[in-house]
Amino acid sequence: MYAVLIALFFGILAGLIDILPMIKNKNIPRVSIASLFAQWVFIGLLIPFVSWDMAPWFKGAVIGFLGMIPTMIVTSQRNPKATLPTAICGLLLGAAIGTANYFVSGPMIL
């Protein structure tokens, strides 16, 4: 249960980091912001429990990027210039979640 709470904490933290700049922009629909936040909470819960044999930061970056693909697809239709920053946030925040979970909880063994 402790590991789930830690993963949830890091997912919420990553979600807040990603949505804070968006909250100031009144042109972004609030449902899009809520969706992105929920997506990061899910990704944060997923990263520590995937048992791939690779460095925690790399596993987090890969899962973060893959988890952001649906957002990148939707974003590319509305604002093509935001697709690359979305991918970069997926990589960086995913790597941060993977690394932070590893140092706080240690390797997850399922």
- Which tokens belong to 103? 């140092």
Tens digits of per-residue pLDDT, 35-77? Answer: 999 999 999 999 999 989 999 999 999 999 999 999 999 989 9
Cβ atoms of 19 and 36 within 8 Å: the answer is yes
Residue 17: name the closest of 84, 71, 74, 94 by CA. Answer: 94
- Which tokens belong to 79? 């604002």
- Which tokens belong to 51? 């048992």
Tens digits of per-residue pLDDT, 2-22? Answer: 889 999 999 999 999 999 999
Question: pTM for the full model?
Answer: 0.88
Cβ atoms of 8 and 42 within 8 Å: the answer is no
